Amino acid sequence: MIEVRGLAKSFGDVQALSGVDFAVGEGEIFGFLGPNGAGKTTTISIIAGLLGADSGTVRVNGMDIAKDGTRVRQILGVVPQDIALYEELTARENLHFWGGLYGLAGKKLRGETDRVLEIVGLSDRADDPVREYSGGMKRRLNLSAGLIHGPKVILLDEPTLGIDPQARLNILDIIRNGVSGGMTAVYTTHYLEEAEKLCSRIAIIDHGKILAQGTLAELVMLAGEGSVVTVTGAFSSAQVSPLLKGITVEHFGDGSLRMMIPGRSELSGALGRLFSAGIPIEDVSIREPSLEGVFMKLTGRELRD
Amino acid sequence: MRKIFLIVRKDMKRRLRSPVSVICMLLIPLGLTLIVGLVFGRHGEVELSHIKVLLADNDGGMAANFFKQGMKQGKLAELIDVVEVDSAEGLSLMNRGKASALIEIPKGFTSSVLDGKSTQIDLVKNPRESFLPMIVEEITGTMTVMIGGAVRVFHEPIQETRSMLAADRWPTPDELAGLLASAGPRIALVKDYVADTLITLTSRTDEAPAEKPAGTFNFFAYIMPGSILIGLLFISEITMRDILREREAGTLDRIFAGPVRSAHVIAGKVLSAFAITLASCLLLILIGRIAFSIEWGPPLELFALVVGSILMCVGIMAFLFGFIKSERGADAMLPVVIIVICIFGGAMFPYEVMGPAMQKAARFSPAFWVIDGLKLVSIEKAGWGGIWRHLAIVYGIGAITCAAGAARLRVRLTGQK
């Protein structure tokens, strides 16, 4: 549905994007994960036709955005990072305006407005001015304005920024339900757990370059991530070290041990050897491989840096 | 077209829901009109610039002298500069626009007055000035009524005094007491004579307007056109400023993310600014009619001038916003631009009280053509013939600035694509 090849964009001396390639299939939620300034919004803006690329191509549903911009934009829905709504107008008036721009009118426009208001749970506040809404309600309305015309592809640029966890879950549910109806989504975020929960495939972007992309399992494998096991007890390093040959030990001290174990079988083998040797173990904690670990491995820093 | 309509409707609704800024801008011209009108129009405590009046005395007699001295006395001296000239010089100066009016006292004026015969004073008004010659006309008319009335009432005492003066002696105290005693009852008759004037004032304007102003002069009508222009410029500024606000709020980008051309957005924005400014202007005119009793003159001509003026104001703002990148920039630049346009055009200081150099400069300000046109329509009741040049200039500037503004905005709004 979306095919991006060799995308590059610079702002003066700053290279915002450099050779970005990815493809998104129909009905897929494709996550774009990266810290602020990584190039997520620039990529979304180019796909939406708001920015021109210095080089590279973007095709949506087989159409080149540079040549068929108006036709491409007709099937795109955009949910910007900032809440782009008219605060003086009611939710219904906002949706009538945005829907009208996409050619909806009359009964169809009114019907679609009611439908999306229902989806985002704002039907009972539809005729209140947006300025009276809470942050979460505005975020939901912001999302619904991108859905009003029933787009084939929706570009979501950090749609949960700055809202409480409950409202965030609500928005993720709406997106998940929308995609189950056949829509394709590109979702940018810097919340790891959102990307893990929502996206079927994820691209990790930093400094304008895609460092890795694939499913979560593929990324974990690609980064060589494994489970992190922390063992505490009344033992010394001299007692334990002969039992851990072939295991990557990240931290070793008297009474504390942290090791990286690539798979389940290696994990049970290592712990079995420790227990068999009568090592006095008080606690064992296991942290499963995560996107955070993958991100750290690939970029050398935490996402919030 | 539908998309343009949607943008206009949306902006109108937003402005109606949040009208404070427009109301504040409406209060500026109303406040200015009220304050300036009250200060200059009623109390006169603030000194007006002198009106230059040429006076050609072809008579040289006592009555002519009485007239001249009357024009130079008391409060009139604060308002009028009387310059004595001969007729030829006076007409020459008038042809060059060097004075507001020329008063010609004919030869034999005094003897006609003293003999109780009808006579006349000629007044030539400067056609390039709309207001000051009318003041001179009013004053001269009042003077002729006063002199004519006085001569009729005091005819006999004057004749007695005339014979005494002719005999080259001053009246004795007894004769003077007699004269005063006989004059007393006649004073009561003044009101019976003022309607039937002895001296007639005839006035003309070299290039007389098609229609003469009717009714009494309303000073607010003189002030309000300039105030309206200030309001129009500020209202069109805040409505066109919405482009910056929408851009900063992200709604403009969201519009551009849809199947909308930049021409739709620019046309929508210009039209909504036009509609809001037009509605505000009509409201100002209505308030002017109700609160300040301004007779606005021929409605079609007025409407044509108003539409052209708003087109011009919105065009100027569209052009300027094509260069301004942020609200801070707009805050710093636009009030200065508006004030300069208004000052040069005579919106803050009437054109007639400006110095000659400023009067020449005023004609290069677009504001002058709006203000002068509105004054011509409302004060002089000028028709199409009187304001065609104003309309041509205002619509011309409007068309040019709108086209240039739209082109510049297109570059600004879509240049990043």
Select from A52, A70, A81 the Cβ nearest to the Cβ of B259. Answer: A70
Q: Indicate the SS3 state at residue B359.
A: helix
Report CB contact under 8 Å: A98, B3.
no
What pLDDT does residue B47 have?
44
Residue of B4, B251, B413 to mutate, testing the A interface (most A Cβ within 10 Å of its Cβ): B251
Of the two residues B9 and A300, the one the predictor is more confident about is: B9
pLDDT tens-digit map of B229-242: 999 999 999 999 99
Q: Domain boundaries in chain B?
A: 2-41+215-414, 47-205
Burial A256-282 (b: 16+ CB within 10 A, else e): ebbbbbeeeebbeebbebbeeeebebe
Quick one: closest CA in A to B264, which residue? A101
List chain A domain ranges. Answer: 2-221, 226-288
- Confidence grade of residue A303 (pLDDT, cut at 50, 70, 90): low
Helices (H), B108-261: 109-114, 132-153, 155-166, 173-187, 190-193, 219-240, 242-249, 251-256
Which A residues 142-181 touch B at CB under 8 Å?
Answer: 145
pLDDT in tens, B1-58: 889 999 999 999 998 888 888 888 888 888 888 887 777 665 433 345 578 889 998 8
Q: What integer pLDDT is reported at residue B185 of this predicted model?
A: 65
CATH code matching the domain that covers A226-288, chosen among 3.30.2130.10, 3.40.50.1000, 3.10.129.10, 3.40.50.1980: 3.30.2130.10
* Residue B417 confidence (pLDDT): 43
pLDDT for res B207: 59
> SS3 helix, strand, coil % of chain A, rounded to 5?
40, 30, 30
Phi then psi for residue A32, to 5 deg, are -115, 110
Q: The pTM is what?
A: 0.68
Q: Single out the residue of A64, A268, A77 nearest to residue A183, CA to CA.
A: A77
Query: Between these two residues, B182 and A78, which has the higher pLDDT value?
Result: A78
The distance in angstroms from the start CA to the end CA of chain B is 23
DSSP structural state of residue B170: P
Predicted pLDDT of residue A196: 82
Q: List the single residue in B6, B14, B254 with the smallest CB-CB distance to A100.
A: B6
| Each residue's pLDDT tens digit, B129-152 | 767 788 888 888 888 888 877 777
Domain spanning B47-205: CATH 2.30.30: no
SS3 of B251, please? helix
Distance in angstroms (rounded) separating the CA atoms of residues A264 and A262: 7
Residues listed for chain A: 305
Give A119→chain B minimum CA distance, Å: 21
**Residue contact B13–A89, C-beta within 8 A:** yes
Q: How far is B17 from chain A (nearest CA, A)?
A: 6
Residue A248 CA to its chain's centroid (Å): 30
Name the DSSP letter for residue A59.
E
**Cα A224 vs. chain centroid, distance in angstroms?**
21
A54 chain-B contacts, CB cut-off 8 A:
none
Spell out which residues of chain A touch residue B256, defining contact as CB-CB under 8 Å: 49-50
Nearest to B249 among A48, A71, A84 (CB): A84
Residue A49: list chain B partners with CB under 8 A: 256-257, 417
Q: Are B10 and A86 within 8 A, CB to CB?
A: yes
**pLDDT > 80? residue A266:** no
- The residue of chain A nearest to residue B1, with distances taken between CA atoms, is A101
Provide the 3-class DSSP secondary structure of residue B118: coil
The answer, yes or no, to whether residue A224 has pLDDT greater than 70, is no
Over 80: is that where the pLDDT of B75 sits?
A: no
In the sheet where A55-60 sits, what is the strand order? A14-24, A2-11, A55-60, A63-64
Helix, coil or strand: residue A95: helix
List the one residue out of B394, B405, B292 whose CA is nearest residue B345: B394
> For the segment A226-241, what is each residue's pLDDT rounded down to a tens digit?
777 888 888 887 778 8
The interface predicted TM-score (ipTM) is 0.79
A211 has a pLDDT exceeding 80: yes
A290 near B CB under 8 A:
no
pLDDT of residue B213: 45
* pLDDT of amino acid B187: 59
Q: What DSSP letter does each residue of A262-283 carry, written as one string?
A: -SHHHHHHHHHHHHHTT--EEE
Tell me the DSSP string of B266-305: HHHHHHHHHHHHHHHHHHHHHHHHHHS------HHHHHHH
pLDDT of residue B214: 45
* C-alpha radius of gyration, chain A, whole number: 24
Taking CB atoms and an 8 Å cutoff, what residues of chain B touch A68? none
- Mutation target for A interface from B1, B10, B242, B256: give the one with most A CBs within 10 A: B10
> How far apart (Å, rounded) are the C-alpha atoms in residues B169 and A245?
147
Point out the residue among B2, B14, B254 whose CB comes nearest to the CB of A84: B254
Tell me which chain A residues have a C-beta less than 8 angstroms from the C-beta of B6: 97, 100-101
Are residues A43 and A82 in contact, defined by beta-carbon separation less than 8 angstroms?
no
**What top-level class would CATH report for the domain A2-221?**
alpha beta
Contacts of A55 by beta carbon, 8 Å cutoff, 6+ apart: A6, A7, A8
Interface of chain B against chain A, CB under 8 Å? 2-3, 6, 10, 13-14, 17-18, 249-251, 253-261, 416-417
In the β-sheet with B199-205, what is the strand arrangement from edge to edge?
Answer: B80-85, B51-57, B101-105, B119-125, B199-205
Separation CA A138–CA A144 (nearest Å):
10
Which pLDDT score is estimated for B210?
47
A142-187 pLDDT, tens digit each: 989 998 998 999 999 888 887 788 878 888 888 888 777 788 999 9
Q: Do B10 and A74 touch (CB under 8 A)?
A: no
**Helix (H), strand (E) at residue A138:** helix A135-147
What average pLDDT is seen over chain A?
86
The full length of chain B comes to 417
**pLDDT tens digits for range B366-377:** 889 999 898 888
What is each CA distance from A296 to A18, A300, A302, B219, in whole angstroms?
21, 5, 5, 78
Q: Which of B135, B123, B140 is nearest to B44 (CA)?
A: B135
In chain B, pLDDT over 70 holds for what percent of residues? 85
Among all chains, which residue has been given the structure tokens 């969201």?
B254
pLDDT at position B203: 67
The alpha carbon of residue B7 is apart from the nearest alpha carbon of chain A, in Å, by: 8
Angle at A86 between CA A84 and CA A88, to 5 degrees: 155
Task: Indicate yes or no: CB of B251 within 8 angstroms of CB of A73.
Answer: no
